[in-house]
Amino acid sequence: MRFDLVDLRLFVAVADARSITGGAARAHLALASASARIKGLEEAFAVALFKRGRRGVELTAAGESLLDHARLIMHNVDAMQGELARFAAGLRANVQLLANTVGLAEHLPKALAAFLRDNPDINVDVEERESTDIAASIATGSAELGFAAEHALPDTIERFVFGEDRLMLVASRRGPFAGRRQLDFVEAAGHDFVGLTQATALQVHISKHAARLGLRLHVRARLRDFDAICQMVAAGVGIAVVPEAAARRCARTMPIAVLTLRDAFANRKLVICARSFKALPRPAKLLVDHLRKAAV
């Protein structure tokens, strides 16, 4: 079976463009050369990868399978080149980590700080994403490592539990929920909310659950910091849904009540995930090993 990275890059380009002509242009190849390479790929695998039509091409089932593998291979090649280039330039290795809002704000900072202290030649780029987006990026190979809520992950993604974090409702001790210890989220309908900014992954998660219940949240203020949100709640501006770790911490110094949400969306296991832990580059494996030890 003979093919090279040029063939795979061309295949991905043709699949994205849904046209051999368009793919050839994206790959900077002559049309005749591109057609010959696609034909060679199909002969090498002994399967048809595309269905040809008047308006272009569509992937066959075999083509869809190859596209998944090709994207992963190209991602790994690009990561390898970038990592080695940084070493050649005397720079540090880099690990990309996608994390949901709770992980980024409450769970990762301490663990990452210890890892970076012990590994001065490795940098970690953390990007905030919603858990479903993290799952999609890991599954397609466009990201190598994630910190997400387990319920959003398909079975094909490897993971280990880093910790558990419930979402809680916080309210002023002098507010309408004074004396309550738990409630269903629907009971909060009609009350003013203090929330995270709309682009925040956790706020998207909360808003989607509200929409499924037919609720529209009236948010009086949006902030990016859980402590600031709890301060607003303590002042009577509204109620809020925040991670339990943040709620308990703030309740020690602020006049707020912490209520358990009985809804299933509030119960979350937070996991470290990857398409394959064994296939990760060495710097990412070192981070994974560190996070395993730091897991609760």
Q: What is the pLDDT of residues 201-242, one digit of tens each?
A: 788 888 888 999 998 889 999 998 899 999 999 999 999 999
How many degrees, rounded to 5, is the angle at CA 93 between CA 92 and CA 96?
130
Tokens found for residue 13: 């380009």
5-69 with 167-266: one CATH topology?
no
CA 102 to chain centre: 12
- Band (2; pLDDT cuts 50, 70, 90): confident
Phi-psi region of 239 (alpha: psi -120 to 50; beta: other; left: phi over 0): beta
At the topology level, CATH places domain 92-164+269-294 in D-Maltodextrin-Binding Protein; domain 2 (3.40.190)
What pLDDT shows up at residue 92? 63
Tokens found for residue 258: 């912490």
β-bridge mates for residue 259, sequence order: 169
Helices then strands (H, E): number in the chain? Answer: 11, 13
| Mean pLDDT across 188-211 | 86
Taking CA atoms, 94 is separated from 20, 45, 89, 112, 121, in Å, by: 35, 35, 13, 13, 9
> In this structure, how many other beta carbons lie within 10 angstroms of the beta carbon of residue 263?
16
What pLDDT shows up at residue 87? 62
Tell me which of 67-81, 102-116, 181-195, 275-289 is least confident. Answer: 67-81
At the topology level, CATH places domain 167-266 in D-Maltodextrin-Binding Protein; domain 2 (3.40.190)
Residue 245 in this model has a pLDDT that exceeds 90? no
Q: Are 27 and 89 in contact (CB under 8 A)?
A: no
- At 135-166, the pLDDT tens digits run 999 998 888 899 998 888 989 999 999 988 88
Rounded Cα distance between 243 and 199, Å, is 17
For 42, phi then psi, to 5°, come to -65, -35
- Annotated domain spans of the chain: 5-69, 92-164+269-294, 167-266
What pLDDT shows up at residue 204? 83
- For every residue of 169-181, DSSP letters joined together read EEEETTSTTTT--
| Mean pLDDT across 44-51 | 92
User: Whole-prediction pTM value?
Assistant: 0.59
- From the CA atom positions of the chain, what is the Rg in Å? 24
Tell me which of 75-84, 115-124, 158-167, 176-185 is least confident. Answer: 75-84
Does the domain formed by 5-69 have CATH 1.10.10.10?
Answer: yes
What pLDDT shows up at residue 103? 86
